[in-house]
Amino acid sequence: MITCPRCASENCVIPAEKVFESISSMYAACPSCMPDPIIDKQTPFRKLATVLDDSTMRCKNCGKRHLDIVIAHVLDILIREGLRSNEATLFDVGTPMIVIGYPIPFPPRLGRNMLILIMDVIDKKTAEMIVNEVSEVKGVIKRTGRSEQPIGILTTDSTPHIYDLLAGCDLRADIVSSVFGELCIYKTQSDTHIEFSRAGSEKIQVLESLYYHRKLEGTVVDACCGAGTLGLVSVLAGAREVILNDAFLPSVTNTILNIRANASILDLELEIHTDPSRLRIVADAPRLIATAHGSSDVSIYHSDLVDLASILERSDLCLIDAFTGVSTGGFVQAWKDTAAMVVTI
């Protein structure tokens, strides 16, 4: 069992191979489910004219409810607590994120703890009510700052920008697909940049192109790795050595979690060298946190990516996946003598 880094539960982190076994039916309606409700997400709540509680339109066979009914139930609580008016619509509730994200061709049916909400108008008391009264909601996050402002750090000189987890647990995952296979990438969503899972990811397409040009065979550095996606997909692609690094501590802990969750698929065995809980949230010096061995030799660092370049000898490829708007010229310059090839994404 893998312990959740957020709530310490042993039920949050499902090993990737088990996720893939169940994903096809995870959000599907069963034969006993009622047909999809016809609800215009822009219709004022007062016109919905229904009594909502945790049993409303719940299937007695599979125990799931349609996403729109779950969101309507949440809106009912917001109105009851005076945070929204009767003119509010389902669209006004917030951003719903299913706990295992992948492109679903139909509206999802949800069971217990299968949804995390990111909301703009919410307080802690009401967030706790939502988690307690709406069984599908696993966690409630309050958005802070501008909606376009990315979560995390732009540079090691910047103040971390994170959202507020007001109630429940915010651990969720996205399925990442590539020609090399699939991974289940977990993230603590209130302190991790939001990227919706979709087919044809531009980042993965860059890796696939590098693979076809035989650039993923040697030592690959994922210099600002986030939750570890590009580096771990490089392991799947057959890289001999992968170095994962991020200056933001939540990214490092998520990367370690994702090696554990995908260990069977990656054929890796993890070893921790430094307790992440003892480290600063923003790296002050390069530190080797963990290594993993098996199909590839993997190292996980907590470091400014410029500082990391100064302590590594050589690499074949350095991937720099910075936030939009961040100038990467200085990063490329720092790696030009260490990496045979630098690719910014």
Token digits of residue 86: 């009767």
Cα distances from 97 to residues 67, 118, 136, 321, in angstroms, run: 10, 8, 11, 23
Tell me the C-alpha distance between 246 and 287, whole Å. Answer: 10
Radius of gyration of the chain from Cα atoms?
A: 21
Q: What is the pLDDT along the chain (345 residues), one digit of tens a residue?
A: 899 999 999 999 999 999 999 999 999 999 999 999 988 888 999 888 677 899 999 999 999 999 999 999 999 999 999 999 999 999 999 999 999 999 999 999 999 999 999 999 999 999 999 999 999 999 999 999 988 888 999 888 889 999 999 999 999 999 999 999 999 999 999 999 988 767 778 999 999 999 999 999 999 999 999 999 999 999 999 999 999 999 999 999 999 999 999 999 999 999 999 999 999 999 999 999 999 999 999 999 999 999 999 999 999 999 999 887 788 888 999 999 999 999 998
Closest listed residue to residue 64, CA positions, set 98, 95, 93, 39: 98
What was the pLDDT predicted at 130? Answer: 98
Per-residue pLDDT, 179: 96
pTM value > 0.75:
yes
**Spatial separation of the C-alpha atoms in residues 320 and 300, rounded to whole Å:** 15
Q: What is the pLDDT of residue 324?
A: 79
Conformational region of residue 233, where left means phi above 0, alpha means psi within -120 to 50, and beta covers everything else = alpha
Q: Is the dihedral of CA 324, 254, 21, 298 positive or negative?
A: positive
Rounded Cα distance, 54 and 131, in Å:
11
3-state SS assignment for residue 58: coil
pLDDT at 48: 83
pLDDT at 39: 87
Domains and CATH numbers, the chain: 16-168 (no CATH), 200-344 (3.40.50.150)
Rounded distance, CA 166 to CA 131, Å? Answer: 10
Q: Tell me what pLDDT residue 49 has.
A: 63
Separation of alpha carbons 336 and 340, rounded Å: 7
